Chains A and B, each alone.
Chain A
Amino acid sequence: MEFVVFVIAAAVAVAAALMMVLQRNAMYSALFLVLTFFCIAVFYVLLGAFFLAVVQVAVYAGAIMVLMLFVLMLLNVAHPEPADRRLAFLKPFGVIAALVLVIELAVAVLQAPTEPAAAVGGAATGAARQATPIARPAPATPAPAFPLPPEGVGAAEVGHTQALASVLFTRFLLPFEVTSILLLAAILGATVLARKRPETT
């Protein structure tokens, strides 16, 4: 079951990502990107990381892409535009970057432990479970990603919201606060740029 869902989501994700890059129409690209985000959220659900899945949908699909669409509509770039010749020299670099990323991911997946550890939704666990979804036909706990209706499932394996929060506010407090200061600076910058200057009015 988990495997079937994974295959469908993965196929849709890859197809949508390809379509996003290949589309000439910026609006279609944005919509296919939303579809890709959904498929990634499905992966998070399969890995038992409900919090990440929901935040992925809320932040990327629900907020950022809506703003992108807003800007696209405001600028009215509805019609396909010819490829920009000035940026053609960037194409080889793009291919190189993509190759490097693929090699990096392959190394990470191959080196990851094959047994799913009891880590807090870590990337290594995720990679291992994605790489070997069918290698464990009889999981000890029947598919922890599957939310059974009764409360008896146990809170430890569902969500990890509390674990994530406690790590975020203790071990990673400094990066967390630095990020928020960065965001604050960005907000202030946007406000300053958008404000009407007194002498030009």
Chain B
Amino acid sequence: MFDWISWNVVLAVIAAFVKAFVVVNALLVAFAYMTLTERKVMGRMQVRYGPNRVGPFGLLQPIADGIKLAFKEDVTPSQANIWVHTIAPIMALVPALIIFAVIPIGPSLLIADQPWTWYIANINVSYLYVTAVASLGVYGLVLAGWASNNKYSLLGGLRASAQMISYELAQAAAALTVVILAGSINLYEIVEQQNRSLIPYALYLPVGLVAFAVYLIAGVAETNRAPFDLPEAEGELGAGFHTEYSGFKWSMFFMAEYVNMVNVSAIAIVLFLGGWWPAVPYLGETVAGIVGPIFFLLKLALFMFFFIWLRSTLPRLRFDRLMGLGWKVLFPVALVNLMVTAVIVALWPTGVWPFI
């Protein structure tokens, strides 16, 4: 009964499974060492050392943290809604992990006449997939706040949903600028366009730079990172939506936050910084296919540093200011920027940008 299954499909499925396994584990290891990097970098910025006791340079600190969190007692408040309380961290983490499936980190190449691709899936609507899945991440936070049966948690959940819905608009409008410039919503195609013209979209003055700035600010807000970490503002809300969480469930919220940082950075690199640019095309296909991901990961590391830098530098916003910034500044700017881009592309449809 299985004679209609072609072996190519089976191989593709196996390859996808292996890649997904590698990507998920890489993301979680990156999460573990991001916590260490963050603590060390913030320590240096605050003129202290940061963790340096466990292992050489404190390199075993994440493992110690992981063991501690795994064996910590998992407390569920007696009046909490047990089912939703348990599902909420999963609903926060899973969307964060599956976004990376469509992100291309390097150009496709042939290895021994076999096509090798640096992504798990290349669907035609990959940018829309990213927005759709990213917008699901808010469920985890909202449900955590609701299920904990705690006023502060509830307020944190409400703040999370309001904030993420508001900034999604500005983020999407900024990304649509690039979609218009590239004429495609396929992330791989968007990167290829930038590498063909040798100029990443962030340098398409002035609209590209504005869109990049809006996207970055909205992205920081989407990941609930300082200075936009209102849902977990410890001065006002205890710990916000994860006040009533401990042990492994608590660490899942943190995994979600850090993996989301990686996702936002990776998408910003794909949309605005040319992905694996400048690895193509003069290097030749094979070399570019091997060097490209290294460029991508270097840019990713820069973005991660930027996130940490922001956190140790800027004070938290007030909530009404946050909403004002999202709705009255970023969203109109992104919309006007989008319209200007559309007009320019309509006037100069040759693909040659007039202002460089």
Residues on A lying within 8 angstroms of B by beta carbon are 1, 27, 31, 34, 50-51, 54-55, 57-58, 61-63, 66-67, 69-70, 73-74, 78, 137-139, 142-143, 146-151, 155, 158-159, 161
Contacts and interface: CB of A to CB of B under 8 A. Distances in A.
Interface of B: 1, 3-6, 8-9, 12, 15-16, 81, 84, 108, 115, 117, 119-125, 128-129, 131-133, 135-136, 138-139, 142-143, 145-146, 154, 157-158, 161-162, 164-165, 185
B132 A54 contact: yes
A86 B128 CA distance: 44
A57 B4 contact: no
Contacts of A66: 135, 138-139, 142, 161, 164-165
Contacts, number: 104
Contacts of A57: 132-133, 135-136
Contact of B132 (A58, A74, A147, A149): A58
A44 to B, nearest CB: 11
A148 B161 contact: no
Given A139-B4, A150-B117, A155 B132 contact: no
A34 B135 CA distance: 13
Contacts of B138: 62, 66
Contacts of B4: 137-139, 142
A149 B123 contact: no
Contact of B6 (A63, A69, A142): A142
A37 to B, nearest CB: 10
Given A51-B128, A63-B135, A73 B158 contact: yes
Given A63-B165, A155-B124, 11 more contacts: A27-B146, A51-B125, A61-B132, A61-B135, A67-B165, A69-B142, A70-B161, A73-B142, A73-B157, A73-B161, A159-B124
A150 B115 contact: yes
A1 B146 CA distance: 38
Given A58-B131, A70-B142, A27 B124 contact: no
Nearest to B146: A73
B146 to A, nearest CB: 5
Contact of B9 (A50, A62, A148): A148
A73 B147 CA distance: 10
4 A-B pairs with least C-beta separation: A62-B135, A159-B124, A58-B132, A57-B132
B222 to A, nearest CB: 12
A11 to B, nearest CB: 20
17 contacts: A50-B125, A51-B124, A54-B128, A58-B131, A58-B132, A61-B135, A62-B132, A62-B135, A62-B138, A63-B165, A66-B138, A66-B139, A69-B146, A138-B4, A146-B9, A149-B115, A158-B123
Given A54-B128, A69-B142, A143 B9 contact: yes
Contacts of A161: 124-125, 185
A58 B115 contact: no
A57 B142 CA distance: 17
Contact of B8 (A31, A73, A147, A148): A148
A27 B108 CA distance: 45
A143 B3 CA distance: 13
Contacts of A149: 12, 15-16, 115, 117, 119-122
A66 B169 CA distance: 14
Most buried by B among A27, A58, A137, A142: A58
A143 B2 CA distance: 13
Contacts of A54: 125, 128-129, 132
Nearest to B183: A162
B5 A1 contact: yes
